[in-house]
Chains A and B, each alone.
Chain A
Amino acid sequence: MTAPDASAETVVTATALSARFGTNTLFQDVSFTVRRGEVFVILGGSGCGKSTLLKMMIGLVPPAAGKVAVLGTDVWSADAPARLALLKRIGVMWQQGALFGSQTLQENIEMPLAEHTTLTREARAEVARAKLGLVGLSEAANRLPSEVSGGMLKRAGIARALALDPPLLFLDEPSAGLDPITSAGLDALIQDLAKSLGSTFVVVTHELASILAIGDRCIMLDKAAQGMIAEGDPRELRDTATHPTVRAFFRREAA
């Protein structure tokens, strides 16, 4: 365990973020920072706004109040070129993979490479093969998304998120709907990628096993509190948290 280094570069800075749908406040005053190279987990029960918070960071849902800066760019006040430059430097794995159904897994990964790089066709094919190899899907390269299992879809989703080698990856519910073995395999993959590639991960999840396995730091959102109720190392929170909801979450009790 290395002590949090004050000079460690921050990758994401969220300041007093709020989300509102109509008159219904989802959460307010959520502030946190994500440091370079860590696996940062956003956790919480269903409907607490985890995915909305993620969408604020990737520029899909505007915050009702507050600011969020990703890789030094303010997501919601940046002009179009700055925003595009930012989008090329982040990767997103969607909950259901969100792979394009009419293309094979390989073609899905080649698409951003063709759009944003000057790599030749052969080079793109080789690079896409490497990305699929990174997530252990080499043999499924020529299959369509409809022809692979749920776990493989998520892996392929990570491979596509890795296409442009972004320093920052957002994963939405990587282990939701997977069996424990596949889910553990995915956790191992995330840790492996974080370690060997040195990328930063922001992971939204409510799978306890996953949180404890991969999370370096986490924040917990709560629907009733309409905001953040915990922040820190998930293993420490499990052992020392005093907030009843946090304790219930980590001990799998009915709150």
Chain B
Amino acid sequence: MSGREAAPSIFVPDTDTPATLDTRRDGTRTVMALSGRVDTAAAADLWSPLVKAAREAGAEGVIDLRAVSALDTTGATLLLTAAALGPGIEGAAPGVTAVLDRVRDALAAPRPKPAVALPFLARVGRGAIGLLSNTTDAMAFLGEMLATLVLTVLRPTRLRWREVLRFLDEAGLRAFPLTILLGSLLGVILAFQSAIPLRRFGGEIFVPSLVGISLMRELGPLMAGVILAGRTGSAYAAELGTMTVNEEVAALRVMGMDPMAILVLPRVLAGLLVMPVLALLLTLSGLVGMTLIMGMLGFPLVTVTTQLSAWLSLTDLFGGLFKAAVFGLAIATIGCRAGLSAGRGPRAVGDAATSAVVGGIVAIVVLDGLFAVAFERLGI
């Protein structure tokens, strides 16, 4: 193409001499003479000296480019930054001038408008409005989900059972090893820690009831909830978040299919069904761990079981399992909502997963508090 050969500016052989700066007085003028190849590496070295010299010289200075063999855009940025402090530029070859002109245009473009900081009161107001609309959205989501749940209970054939089974497998069966590990270690630790103070009063015999009640009523559902939030809530958020970012959810909606029924319900149902199982498994593994420690302390199995059957009731068991089911519902719902309300970009998926785990854990702790009050009032 004609004209190309006139601009051998950016592509220069490495054998070309690297740039040097020579500042000298010439009468009243300060001449800053550059020579060689003013490329990115040279610009980095010459940046401070040239800017300093240009500032001192001001309008009396002149940047002499006669000996410059090549210029890249970083070099041109340096020259123009220095020239903006007062000195003129002279002696540039045509190829060098072409780059200089191009970068001058680029730098002349308007800068981005600085972000306007809102006054404090307005920030508080905006925050409050955001919180309110977020709460409204959450309520709407919950309502829509419960409505879909009721509709599905009325017409169970509508539910995609194959999906539910897949999620039951992912959230349940595959979480069993972790649950068993966590539960048995929890039982061991609890038994050990409580045996030490109880021994002072000769009350080691009460360790099984203490560990049994705390596992069955509180720790079983809670720890299973933490497992579900970490393993499954985050996975739901990431999966649905990616689908949202890729507009798959929008595609479903436009094809006249309800994302709530197709995507959310099978997951939430799986969370609801799987949690009592996980809580029970965790409690049982904990009791096994505790029994092991009791054996080490010299109490036979029969003592432990007698103690447990004397202190634990079915109410404790079902209360705990009911709590677990509610936790599962909450964690799965929060995970799905975090995914479906994801923003744009890869970061949105990460944010959704984080908010699913944090939201899930906060929710189960708050719910646990409410349950404690309710159970106390009901005398359970």
Contact = CB atoms under 8 A, between A and B. Distances in A.
Interface string B79-111: 011000000000000010011011101111111
B73 to A, nearest CB: 6
A200 B12 CA distance: 12
Contacts of A165: 10, 39-40, 72-75
B106 A138 contact: yes
A28 interface: no
B111 A131 contact: no
A197 B115 contact: no
Interface string A19-41: 00000000000000000111000
Contact of A196 (B12, B99, B107): B99
Given A130-B107, A164-B40, A119 B47 contact: yes
Select the residue from A2, A142, A146, A165 with max chain B CB neighbours within 10 A: A165
Contacts, number: 136
Contacts of B77: 126-127, 129-130
Interface string A142-164: 11111000000000000000101
B5 interface: yes
Given A195-B7, A198-B11, A130 B112 contact: no
A229 interface: no
Nearest to A102: B347
Interface in A94-138: 101-102, 113, 117-120, 123, 126-127, 129-134, 136, 138
A3 B45 CA distance: 40
A199 interface: yes
A123 B80 CA distance: 12
Contacts of B103: 130, 133-134
Interface in B24-63: 39-41, 43-45, 47-48
B111 A138 contact: yes
Contacts of B254: none
B353 to A, nearest CB: 15
A219 B209 CA distance: 80
A129 B39 CA distance: 17
B78 interface: yes
A162 B73 contact: yes
Interface residues of B, number: 50
A140 interface: yes
A250 B106 CA distance: 35
Interface stretch (B129-137, B321-329, B338-346, B364-372): B338-346
Contact of A2 (B2, B12, B48, B345): B2
B333 interface: no
Tell which of A36, A117, A143, A196 has the most Cβ of chain B within 10 Å: A196
Interface string B106-141: 111111110100000000000000000000000000
A44 to B, nearest CB: 23
B319 interface: no
8 contacts: A113-B40, A127-B74, A130-B76, A130-B80, A139-B109, A139-B111, A167-B11, A198-B11
Given A138-B110, A196-B7, A196-B102, 5 more contacts: A123-B81, A127-B73, A129-B107, A146-B345, A197-B99
